[in-house]
Every structure is written in C-alpha cells, then in structure tokens.
Amino acid sequence: MTLSHENQNYILKWRRYFHQYPELPMKEYKTADVIEKELQHLGIQTHRIHETGICGVFTHITDLKHAKSVGLRADIDALPVTEKTGLSFASVNSGVMHACGHDGHTAALLGAAKRLTEHPDHINGTVKFFFQQGEEICQGAKLFVKANEHKDLDRILAVHMCSSLPVGKMSVRGGECSASCDKFIIKIHGKSSHAATPHQSIDAIYVASQIVVNLQSIIARGTNPIETGVVSVGSIHGGKTYNIVSDEVILEGTTRAFNQEVRNTINRRVKEIAEGIAMTYGAIADVDIQDFTRPLINDQDVANEVAEVAINLFGESIAEYNYNKVMLGDDFAEYLTDVKGMYVWIGSSDGENTPTSYPHHHEQFDINEKAVFMASELYEAYARKILNTL
C-alpha cells in the first residue's frame, strides 16, 4: 500500500459519505452534484451526461504526436434495499442502500483523480473520469456511448468490489467476464369466467404456466450445449380471487448469455414461444424484450497490462487469473464494443462468515475498505502506464 494517510482519509471520507446518502438509478442528483463540485475543486473540467452522469476531463500534454487517452469508469447508483448493517455511516435514505460497492468505486475514482491532477509528471494525454449513473438497470453506459465520450479513448478500465474474493486478490481474467442481461415482460390476455365454468374462459394462468415451462426448452433444446445461457422467470402476477378464471397474467424475467449470437437467439425464442403457446389456447401474448446490456468480454491485451500494473503495485499474489465468469450483467460492456478495456473484480471480503462476505445486493452487504484503497491505486497506476511519456 503506497497511499499516504492523507489520501486514505480522503478516500475513506468519500466512501462513507456516499454510503450514507445513496440514491437510486437515474435519480443520483445529489450524488452527481457532489462529485461534480469535487472534480471542479481538483481543477478537472466537467460536463453532464444526461441529468446525473458526470464526465471529468483532465489533460496534460507534453508531446502531442504521442499523446494518448484513457477512460476510468465508476458507477454511482444504489439499490432499493433497506440496510441492516448497523454501520455508523449506514444509509439515511429509507429503503435505499449501496449494497453493491458503488460507493467504494466512486470514492476510489475520486482518490485517483486527486492524485493524478496533483502529480501530473510523466503524463502525456487525457484522462476521462466516467462517474456513470444507472448501472443497476443497465441504462447509464448507453448514455455515455450515445454522447461518444468513449470514442477517443485508447483504453478504458472499470473496477468492482467482489465479496467472493478475499482482500488482496484481483481478478485479471481476460475474455468472458460477465453475461449479457435483458429483461422480458410477457402480458397474456385471455377471457374471464366463473371458475365453475372454465369452458367459457381462456385461462390466462394456465397459458402462463405453459409458457413458463416451455421457456426452459430454449436452453435445454435450443442452445448449443457448448454455450451458456439462462432464461429465468422472476415474477408472475395474475388473478383477482380464487373462484374467477383470470383473463390476464404478467410474466417478468431475464435472459443471460456470453455470446451475442446466443443472446439474440434466446430473446427471439422467448417471443416466439410465448406468442405461439398463447395462440394455441386462443389467448394473445404481448412480448416486450428490453435490451439492457451486451456480454462483457475483457480484452486480453488490456488484461495483461492490468495484471502487470497490479503485480507491480501489490506483488505476484494479487493476480487471480482463473476467477469464474459470472452470469451477472454490467453495462460497462457497452463501452467495449469500440474501446479495448478491462473490468476488474477487486477482492473485498475478509473471508467466510464475516460481515464482508454477504453477497451483493444483500441488506447486510459491506466491504473491507482496504479494497477501496487498492482499487484507487489501480485506477491511478493504470492511467499512468497508458499515458507515461518515459
């Protein structure tokens, strides 16, 4: 650990502040205001991406011909979770909690921004600091991409706390990292009747049940077994009372894949199966598939660069090359269609059965704050590697 006590305290202050005042996706108004004010205080130019995204730009060019650019991304939104950690800086916003570590990411990036601007020696180029909104609903990255904020970057880096890795480990795995994530909403329209005369109805609950069962055939019989995919129905709503056949049911669920072609096929089949089964029973299925994010595939060259930086900072033992890819989604993937980049899992747990071992999105989720310091050092050191004039 090379951070001074002053820098550690700076990061710690911000991590605990953001944890105490979390805001939901796309509603991070106060969070954005605070970040923007602090970046400007550091001498970093800022502009808004939509309402609550902040792009900070720091440029220090000594040789225009060889200048490069690097993007550093932190997500800033929280979750609709009621916190039960008992921390002295627990959320004061009822029903909202930083249960995924985004408070740590934001503090880590602010810390890196502070040190890069205070010590610009040997930097030749531009650092863009992406404080991105709406990651939890996979909407924020698309706003940055739409604004073309990523197009001029040579590299881009993101970090994420990880409660299933111990402090002192970082996943530097190249290739497949996180799956695509999409949401489907299926509205089934049938015909109501008394439960005693089902022949006069078109039973939307029965139709929905058939759809739920048959959706699993997409993975079992419609996907190459060498590939990986998920179709999960997480919500069913229908019916008004026990003795009336329901005329409407709403199913909500998600699809996941590591391959873009498989992703497209799964989503197409969800629609075809739902509409086909509904038609078979005389019902109608309206299917809405919401495009959230692509599969997240780490560039191998960047993975090698990040591993080198991490090892130089923390020693050989830091690098975890075989951490499993996960079916979780992260819209950082959207940047990687145009820029070579890397998503690093930062170990944040003290081990099993400790307060820092709870899974992400849990009401008692917490992190070892040493992981935030390490994330901040990685942000800074990687930016310096890419922009180093030596």
Residue 200, classed as helix, strand or coil, is helix
Residue 224, classed as helix, strand or coil, is coil
Q: Identify whether residues 239 and 188 lie together within a single domain.
A: yes
pTM: 0.94
DSSP state of 79: B
Q: Which of 87, 131, 66, 147 is nearest to 389 (CA)?
A: 66
List the Cα angle 296/155/323 in 5-degree steps.
40
**Per-residue pLDDT reduced to its tens digit, 41-68:** 999 999 999 999 999 999 999 999 999 9
Mean pLDDT on 84-100: 98
pLDDT averaged over every residue in the chain: 97
pLDDT at 34 over 70: yes
DSSP state of 191: B
Task: Please state the separation of Cα 17 from the chain's center in Å.
Answer: 21
Q: What pLDDT score does 249 carry? A: 98
Q: What pLDDT score does 20 carry? A: 98
CB atoms within 10 A of CB 337: 11
**Domain containing residue 280: CATH number:** 3.30.70.360
- The dihedral through the CA atoms of 200, 205, 208, 209 has a sign that is negative
Q: Identify whether residues 226 and 186 lie together within a single domain.
A: yes
Range of the domain at 379: 5-177+295-387
Of 235, 267, 293, the residue that ends a domain is 293
207's tokens: 């139709």
pLDDT at 170 over 70: yes
pLDDT band of residue 384 (cuts 50, 70, 90) is very high
Please name the amino acid found at residue 78.
A
* Number of domains composing the chain: 2
Q: What pLDDT score does 110 carry? A: 98
The pairing of beta strand 296-298 with beta strand 175-178: antiparallel
List the Cα angle 325/331/336 in 5-degree steps.
80
Mean pLDDT on 289-314: 98
Please name the amino acid found at residue 204.
A
DSSP state of 321: S
Tell me the C-alpha distance between 136 and 59, whole Å.
30
pLDDT at 390 over 70: no
Q: What pLDDT score does 173 carry? A: 95
pLDDT at 1 over 80: no
Of 259, 293, 327, the residue that ends a domain is 293
Mean pLDDT on 242-271: 98
Mean pLDDT on 291-296: 97
Q: Identify whether residues 220 and 169 lie together within a single domain.
A: no
Yes or no: say if 199 and 138 are a contact pair by the CB < 8 Å rule. no
110's tokens: 């602010």
Q: What pLDDT score does 235 carry? A: 98
Of 260, 293, 326, the residue that ends a domain is 293
Tell me the C-alpha distance between 177 and 66, whole Å.
31
**Domain containing residue 352: CATH number:** 3.40.630.10
Q: What pLDDT score does 153 carry? A: 98
The burial class, CB within 10 Å (0-12 / 13-18 / 19+), for 332 is buried
Q: What pLDDT score does 389 carry? A: 67
Give the residue carrying structure tokens 């000594």. 62
Q: Which of 268, 259, 295 is nearest to 180 (CA)?
A: 295
Tell me the C-alpha distance between 23 and 88, whole Å.
18
pLDDT at 244 over 70: yes
pLDDT at 11 over 70: yes
Q: What pLDDT score does 234 carry? A: 97
pLDDT band of residue 149 (cuts 50, 70, 90) is very high
pLDDT at 17 over 90: yes
Residue 184, classed as helix, strand or coil, is strand
Q: Identify whether residues 30 and 128 lie together within a single domain.
A: yes
